[in-house]
Amino acid sequence: MRTVNAGMDRFIGYISDKNLYIYGIGDIYQRLMSREVYHPIHERVVGYIDNGKAGQDIEVFGKKYHVYDVGFLQSVGQGVVLLCGEKYMDEMYRALCGQQLSDNIECFILPLIWTVTDGRGDMRIKELLSEDTNDCNRKIDKRIHCFWFSGEKKPRTYQKCIDSWRKVCPDYEIIEWNADNYDCNKNIFMKKAYEGKKWAFVSDYARLDVIYHFGGIYLDMDVELLKPLDPLLKFKAFFNFGTQYEIDLGSGFGSIKNNPLIGSLLQMYTDQEFCDEYENLALDKFVQPALIKEEFPKWGIRMDGSMQLVDDMLLLPRKYYSPVDDFFLQNFIQCDDTMGIHHYNAGWWTKKNHEQRRNRLSWVDIAKRLV
């Protein structure tokens, strides 16, 4: 078996004349097939592999399939395996490698496919970014907002990131919001999150609220700045893609005050409930990037991870501020264009999640070895 990698567009083209086996039919595969753009993948599927569901029959888009265990692949002479692992991806990959499969079988790994960026970007926008920002063309104020609601001592890693803000943006005002200077009872979502000490979710609403009413820039405290933010201030707003298909506000975003788009994102929380048992909820219904992703296309923004300028609002590919992949939490795509690094402390994670993170395979090293 050969493990290979490519961006999603190239992968879909590559499998157009090949038999495809899906390894893992859990949540990550369900999210994949929920997007119409991925339906060409399903058209090439000839079998499903899932040790936990082996022996069962499933129905996908009106067609029935039998689910096999991973050992079934030993009887396959050639084809493509798409590993759709999530919680148990490391174990699944080890099990696959242990089958000693034919070299005519190629394995693609879905989360690794999503780490590949194709470098799309409008040269005109890049030229605008390179132009000097001054008091005449600056629209966003030199003001960085951040939040710390727990009242506990900040980890050294956070302080290191804040120090980087002061180093590369020495003339910016830094405002730290907390329970003493911010009202955490503005809506039921934030109130319940605060009472449950789910600080990351308190910030989900608060950062939109503060940027809408005061303008400026928001950064999670685990965002390390490598370059000044000045080039971004000449636009009405800027946002960062955290994945190829989702915008990550925690990586940093900025805007003039009273931006209607920010207002529309705020409005989404008006009737949003907060559940203390959020660990048991589907993430695509709860975590902010997934919660707000349907709103951006209404403003003419393409959710494809590309550099865009829409109504003077700049969309930056993930390589600028999110080179650390939010699934693997490993640094894949840092490059000369990278202006900052969101380290993804993942404050909403459970202790078990963090333990799994520490024990992960080094997928960065695996990706570097792929053909």
Nearest 5 degrees, angle CA 44-CA 48-CA 52? 160
Q: How far is CA 68 from CA 15, 21, 51, 108, in A?
A: 21, 10, 7, 18
CATH of domain 2-113: 3.40.50.720
Of 284, 279, 289, which Cα lies nearest the Cα of 196?
279
List per-residue pLDDT tens for the chain, 371 residues long: 888 888 788 888 999 999 999 999 877 777 667 667 678 888 899 999 998 889 999 888 778 899 999 999 999 989 999 998 767 788 888 899 899 898 899 999 887 787 665 455 567 788 888 889 998 999 999 999 999 999 999 999 999 999 999 999 999 999 999 999 999 999 888 898 899 888 888 999 999 999 999 999 999 999 999 999 999 999 999 999 987 778 999 999 999 999 999 999 999 888 777 765 544 444 445 567 777 888 999 999 998 888 999 999 999 988 898 877 655 656 666 788 899 999 887 554 555 655 655 555 566 566 556 54
DSSP 6-52: --HHHHHHHGGGS-EEEE--SHHHHHHHTSGGGHHHHTTEEEEE-GG
Domain segments of the chain: what residues? 2-113, 123-358
| CATH, domain 123-358, list 3.30.420, 3.40.50, 3.90.550, 3.40.190 | 3.90.550
Q: At what angle do helices 188-195 and 199-214 cross, to 10 degrees?
A: 140
In the chain, % helix, strand, coil (3-state, to 5) comes to 35, 20, 45
**Other C-beta atoms within 10 Å of 186: how many?**
14
Token representation of residue 16: 């157009």
Paired tokens of 102: 């034919």
Burial letters for 201-232: b for 16+ Cβ neighbours within 10 Å, e otherwise? Answer: bbbbbbbbbbbbeebbbbbbbbbbbeebbbbb
Backbone angle region of 55, left / alpha / beta, with phi > 0 → left and psi within -120 to 50 → alpha = left
β-pairing, 105-109 vs 79-83, is parallel
β-pairing verdict for 143-147 and 20-23: unpaired
| Beta-bridge partner residues of 39 | none
Q: How far is the C-alpha of 346 from the C-alpha of 368, rounded, in Å?
A: 25
Q: In terms of pTM, does the model score above 0.75?
A: no
